[in-house]
Amino acid sequence: MTDCFIYGGRTDAAPIVLVTSSNLSRATKKLTSQQINWLNQNAFTGKPGCLCAIPSEDGGVERYLVGIDDIEDPFAIADLPKRLPEGVYALEGSGVRSNLESLAVGWGLGSYSFTRYKKNGVIKAKLKLPNSSDHQRIQETVAATYRVRDLINTPAEDMMPQHLSAVVAELAQTHEAEFSEIVGDDLLAENYPSIHTVGRASVHPPRLIEMLWGNSKHPLVTLVGKGITFDSGGLDIKPAAGMRSMKKDMGGAAHAIGLAQLIMALELPVRLRLLVASAENAISSNAFRPGDVIRTRSGITVEIENTDAEGRLVLCDALSDACDEQPDLLVDFATLTGAARVAVGTEMAAYFCNDRELADLVRETGRETYDPTWELPLHKGYESYLKSHVADLQNAANTPFGGAITAALYLQRFVDDNVRWLHFDIMAWNNRARSGRPIGGEAMGMRAMLVALEKRYLK
């Protein structure tokens, strides 16, 4: 749990005054001439990233000044927990009160470290929040992001389909949701052939994990996650450099689980269905092969062009199942293609959507939450790249171009036209450290999607 906050009470807190270069003179009005001298000698200009401790007469610290440029940006102060010494702090400055929730979330995200295998510098700076703030929303947003990061950062050996299943089962118990799953050969009996095909070579059997929560009278929101716990590429084996990061290939599942956790904790008025399609894409004598044909759950036959395009295979059976219930909204998250990162870089969540209003909403909430999202087109003209000589479809295009689009078009073939659908193709990983975002697993688009859901269903 996140213990980087202290709520109200009488605890003394060192003030952190947020200043922008334009309000520097106002912020320094209360200071003595010695203190202003100190600021100057420490080259404190109010530029973003500057931090200066102002000494008190007794040799302690009277307050901290921190330069920021955008007070609405939760990450403006998110590097502070790692820069400040142990202690309790409180934010001050113009605009702090109206942006406190987002700043506190930033503080929380910046207090994260992955400690399962190594004491990665436990952070001891705590932020004091006034009683008036929405503690629960702050706490739950931070906790869900930690959940996503922890799931992704955990090595494949300790994060196989059965581990994802245990996480969902526990979550279901906490929130009084129904949990069920279909494991191993039962996937064949229950008609999820493509999930089974991808996962059959692993000693850890594949699973379709399901959770159902909420009032059945509320609109149904179905979340689907790609839970490939390790993507070796299968027989069309991945080059070493690409394989190195593939413990994160369950990142989509982590996002779907994290968002489900948020929806339940914040009690959104929806009926929630979570489907995690989980398998290890392993190599063994019984592995699926290029040229094999799968008769998928929907009846559409798919020729395997490349066993490394496995995400869309586990997802297609889950999406067909999801559509049977005619959800009001169907959202899937997947680390689906390398091409999405070529298109938008590694720090934005690319998405595709068959509904204009929803697409615009997610773009907008991405901007508002500083959780950047960018829409890519479901360009019908590229559908012909998925034609196969022997089956209805092939699982990958024979061109290196537009890979995120052809993958999304593949998925769309399994989604009913009358189901509102949004597909996230995400990186789920920080390649470099930024304020509040350490290297490693990351939630991308999850906060944006939560706010989009709130705007749609909390009216």
Which residues belong to the active site?
238, 312
User: Residues 309, 358, 450, 453: which binds ligand BES (CB under 6 A)?
Assistant: 309
210 or 308: whose CB is closer to Zn ion? 308
Q: Considering only 133-141, 303-311, 320-328, 373-381, which stretch makes contact with ligand BES by CB under 6 A?
A: 303-311
User: Residues 127, 228, 329, 449: which binds Zn ion (CB under 5 A)?
Assistant: 228
Q: How far apart are the first and last CA of the chain?
A: 30
User: Residues 140, 308, 425, 442: which binds Zn ion (CB under 5 A)?
Assistant: 308
Under rule CB under 6 A, residue 194 binds ligand BES: no
Q: Considering only 213-221, 303-311, 360-368, 420-428, which stretch makes contact with Zn ion by CB under 5 A?
A: 303-311
H/E segment holding residue 412:
helix 403-412
Please give the Cα distance from 391 to 419 (Å, whole number): 25
Least Å distance, CB 311 to ligand BES, is: 4
Cβ density class 222-246: b for 16+ within 10 Å, e for less:
bbbbbbbbbbbbbbbebeeeebebb
Least Å distance, CB 62 to ligand BES, is: 48
Please give the Cα distance from 277 to 209 (Å, whole number): 6
Please give the Cα distance from 249 to 439 (Å, whole number): 16
Please give the Cα distance from 413 to 402 (Å, whole number): 17
Please give the Cα distance from 309 to 116 (Å, whole number): 31
**What ranges in 50-209 are assigned the alpha helix state H?**
80-83, 100-110, 135-153, 161-174, 186-189, 193-199
Least Å distance, CB 309 to ligand BES, is: 4
User: Residues 35, 154, 278, 337: which binds ligand BES (CB under 6 A)?
Assistant: 337
- Its sign, for the CA torsion 19, 22, 23, 28, is positive
- Contacts with Zn ion by CB under 5 A: the residue count is 6
User: What, of ligand BES, Zn ion, none, does residue 80 touch, CB below 5 to 8 Å by kind?
Assistant: none
User: What, of ligand BES, Zn ion, none, does residue 425 touch, CB below 5 to 8 Å by kind?
Assistant: none
Q: What is the CB neighbour count within 10 angstroms for residue 41? A: 9
User: What, of Zn ion, ligand BES, none, does residue 339 touch, CB below 5 to 8 Å by kind?
Assistant: ligand BES
- Beta strands 207-213; 220-231: pairing state: unpaired
Whether 99 contacts 23, CB under 8 Å: no
Whether 38 contacts 53, CB under 8 Å: no
Binding mask 202-241 for ligand BES (x = CB under 6 A): -----------------------------x----------
Least Å distance, CB 221 to Zn ion, is: 25
Hey, which residues between 242 and 261 contact ligand BES (CB under 6 A)?
249
User: Residues 73, 79, 210, 231: which binds Zn ion (CB under 5 A)?
Assistant: 231
Least Å distance, CB 431 to ligand BES, is: 10
Under rule CB under 6 A, residue 159 binds ligand BES: no
Binding site for ligand BES (CB under 6 A): 231, 249, 306, 308-311, 335-339, 396, 403
